[in-house]
Amino acid sequence: MQLEQFKLLYEKNHIDQKKYEEAILILNNYQERLNQISIDDASIEQLDQFISSLKQNHACTIDVMIVLMRYYRMIKRNDLFIHLTKYTGGLGVIESIIDRLKHIVGKEKHREITQKIKIPELGTHPNEFPKFTEGFVKLLENTLDQKTVKCVLAGNHHQIPSSAFLDEKTHYENSDSLDQYLKELHQRKIEILGNHFKNGTVWFEQEISQEVLDFVKSNQEILSAVRKDDYLYVTKIPYDTKAYLSASTNEQKRYHACHCPFAKESIKSTQTNISGVWCNCSAGFGKYPFEIILDQELEIEVLENVLRGDMQCRFRIPLIGIKYKK
């Protein structure tokens, strides 16, 4: 273990001594379970086994996951850091959907639905998520009409604060048109990816290569949008673009495209069949930045999604009746 470097990381980021001592206990516990193998050299399977052992004792907490992610990001075990995001990527999402459900359908219907839901515990292996998701979506579809299901799912379920997009709102306000803003947004995103490529650092959940950069550069819909008439078209960047571009089968391509920890593993399995309506959750994530920029709630349509066999996730945001710079 690289504990001296880890200590410096905590000091550099002004994380208090108690938190560091708690982190060391977690890493030492992990190391003891691995016995002769250093946690630096652990495999994905060994990491999964450690998390499973914690879950069995109801000891897999957010703090534990943060320590593991910090450590593996620090030593540049990007494969393990990215794997951990499959456990944490859905934190709070189901709770947010349930909360939005209450506001849309009322207390009585909300109670009828939620008493049948058991949210997976943190530390649940990603392979187990699809079974829950399949049942959850069926419950919504069997209880509500399709329009209401889509509305419930298409919210800001990662609970991103509007302040995260205030800089973008300023960029939009200083632009001559929405089209100009979208073009410049895409250029800014490419610059950010380029910096990660140069520094060899992970951007969110993925590694950036020259091929990834070229892929994003080739399509303004990725990490931005393209306006055609009164519609915005948005294509979601694959979860693992590097693997997506080198995939040899359509199934692999779809798997590496999918961001959703609650559905991703279903693409590799015939044991579950998750309704494509679930991807309205991803659509909600995609429209939220534009809602902040344009100061109003927007609708969104799912045009393509990997759960129903497409090679990408693509959305359309209607701007009919919406005021925007032309």
Pairing state between β 314-318 and 231-235: antiparallel
The pLDDT of 142-148, averaged and rounded, is: 94
Render the burial of 5-28: b for 16+ CB within 10 Å, e for the rest: ebeebbeeeeeeeeebeebbebbe
Ranked by mean pLDDT, the top range of 83-87, 169-173, 200-204 is: 169-173
Which pLDDT band holds residue 270 (cuts at 50, 70, 90)? confident
Percentage of the chain beyond pLDDT 70 is 100
Which pLDDT score, from 0 to 100, does residue 271 have?
85
Model pLDDT, residue 53:
95
Placement of tokens 């399709």 in the chain: 146
In a shared domain, residues 38 and 172: no
Q: Please tell me which residue, 86 or 245, carries the higher pLDDT value.
A: 245
Distance, in Å, from the CA atom of 140 to the CA atom of 137, rounded to the nearest integer, reads 5
- What is the rounded distance in angstroms from the CA atom of residue 246 to the CA atom of residue 256? 10
Q: Is the pLDDT of residue 269 over 90?
A: no
In the chain, how many domains are there? 3
Of 12, 172, 159, 158, give the one whose Cα is nearest residue 89. 158
pLDDT (mean) for 132-151: 94
Residue 1: predicted pLDDT: 84
- Does a structural domain hold residue 72? yes
Residue 166: partners with Cβ closer than 8 Å, 6 or more residues away:
292
Give the confidence band of 125 by pLDDT, cuts at 50, 70, 90.
very high
Over range 150-154, report the average pLDDT.
95
* Closest by CA position to 123, among listed 160, 99, 89, 88: 88
Q: Is the pLDDT of residue 294 over 90?
A: yes
What pLDDT band is residue 305 in, cutting at 50, 70 and 90?
A: very high
pLDDT of residue 6: 93
Q: Assess if residue 292 is contained within a domain.
A: yes
Q: Place 206 in a pLDDT band, splitting at 50, 70 and 90.
A: confident
Q: Quickly count: other Cβ atoms within 10 Å of residue 34's Cβ.
A: 16
Residue 211 domain-assigned?
yes
Mean per-residue pLDDT for 112-125?
92
Q: How sure is the predictor about 224, in pLDDT bands with cuts at 50, 70 and 90?
A: very high
Indicate whether 82 and 138 sit together in one domain.
Answer: no
Q: How many CB atoms lie within 10 A of CB 326?
A: 10
66 and 106 in a common domain = no
pLDDT tens, position by position, 279-293? 999 999 999 999 999
Residue 315: its H or E element: strand 314-318
Q: Which of 42, 68, 88 is the last residue of a domain?
A: 88
- Same-domain status, 195 and 247: yes
Contact (Cβ atoms closer than 8 angstroms) between residue 303 and residue 315: yes
CA-based nearest residue to 129, from 20, 253, 16, 274: 274
Q: Can you give the pLDDT at residue 78?
A: 87
| Averaged confidence pLDDT in the chain | 94
Q: Is 64 within the bounds of a domain?
A: yes
Residue 223 has pLDDT above 90, yes or no: yes
The pLDDT, as a whole number, for residue 32 is 93
| Ordered alpha helix ranges (H), the chain | 3-12, 17-34, 44-56, 62-74, 78-88, 93-105, 107-114, 129-143, 146-153, 166-173, 178-199, 210-217, 241-246, 250-257, 280-294
- Residues 101, 215: one domain? no
- Asked whether the beta carbons of 81 and 207 are under 8 A apart, the reply is no
Residue range(s) defining the domain that contains residue 37? 3-88
270 and 201 together in one domain = yes
Residue 48 confidence class, pLDDT cut points 50, 70, 90: very high
Please state the separation of Cα 36 from the chain's center in Å.
34
Q: What mean pLDDT comes out for the span 180-197? A: 97
Q: Does any domain span residue 132?
A: yes
Residues 281 and 138 in one domain: no
pLDDT at 232 exceeding the cut of 90: yes
β-pair partners for 206: 203
Tokens, residue 50: 């450690």
Cβ distance 6 to 74 under 8 Å? Answer: yes
Model pLDDT for residues 52-72, shown as the tens digit of each residue:
999 999 999 999 999 999 999
pLDDT of residue 204: 87
| AA letter at 53 | S
